[in-house]
Amino acid sequence: MGTPFVRASGAHVFDQEILLSAVPPGIRAYYRRKGTAAEYMDDYFDPRLVAVDMLGNFIKEGAVARLPEGIVVANEWLSAHGLDPVERGQIEEYYKQDAATLELFLRVRRLDRAAKRLLRRDYDFILPGKVKR
């Protein structure tokens, strides 16, 4: 099992099958072969990308007015660690791509749920209603 934010000898300690279990079966094997779960988790070991993702949450949560202050704080921290600063345009582009990816994934999961209902099978996940982006 493990936690998603721990690696030992360069390998993730977390059982990636937990993440893959939410992926519809037809796509799951492809994601497993491609290493998508590991790539996803690798992003959280890149401090700059974590900052961009965190700042993108200001957009997601409708708090865009707080984004400039968040950028200042994040850039101070990044600078103190010798990392390049982030810019608003990078955050907006990242959020746009992330939101589109998550929307597509949610649509695929809804299709999977509908197919399981037609086959009178249980669907093991609770999906969110309409997501405001």
Whether residues 64 and 126 share a domain: the answer is yes
Whether residues 2 and 16 share a domain: the answer is yes
Whether residues 120 and 90 share a domain: the answer is yes
Whether residues 20 and 77 share a domain: the answer is no
Helix (H, G, I), strand (E, B) or coil at 8: strand
- Indicate if the pLDDT at residue 110 is higher than 90: yes
- In a 10 Å sphere around its CB, with 0-12 CB exposed, 13-18 middle and 19+ buried, how is residue 5 labelled? exposed
- Indicate if the pLDDT at residue 1 is higher than 60: no
DSSP string, 65-88: GGHHHHHHHHHHHHHHTT-----H
Average pLDDT over residues 62-76: 97
Whether residues 30 and 65 share a domain: the answer is no
Which range of residues forms the domain containing residue 117? Answer: 46-133
Total tally of structural domains belonging to the chain = 2
Alpha helices (H) in the chain, listed in sequence order: 17-20, 25-34, 36-42, 47-60, 67-80, 88-118
Whether residues 40 and 62 share a domain: the answer is no
pLDDT of the residue at 114? 96
Average pLDDT over residues 14-28: 88
- Indicate if the pLDDT at residue 129 is higher than 50: yes
Whether residues 18 and 57 share a domain: the answer is no
Residue length, the chain? 133
Whether residues 15 and 50 share a domain: the answer is no
Q: Where residue 3 falls among pLDDT bands split at 50, 70, 90? A: low
- Indicate if the pLDDT at residue 2 is higher than 60: no
Averaged confidence pLDDT in the chain: 91
Lowest mean pLDDT among 9-18, 28-37, 75-84, 90-99: 9-18
Residue 30's alpha-carbon distances to 47, 99, 109, 122, in angstroms, are 28, 22, 15, 23
Whether residues 40 and 51 share a domain: the answer is no
Average pLDDT over residues 77-85: 97
For the chain, the straight-line distance linking the first and the last C-alpha, in angstroms and rounded, comes to 33
Nearest alpha carbon to residue 98 among 123, 131, 76:
131
Whether residues 16 and 63 share a domain: the answer is no
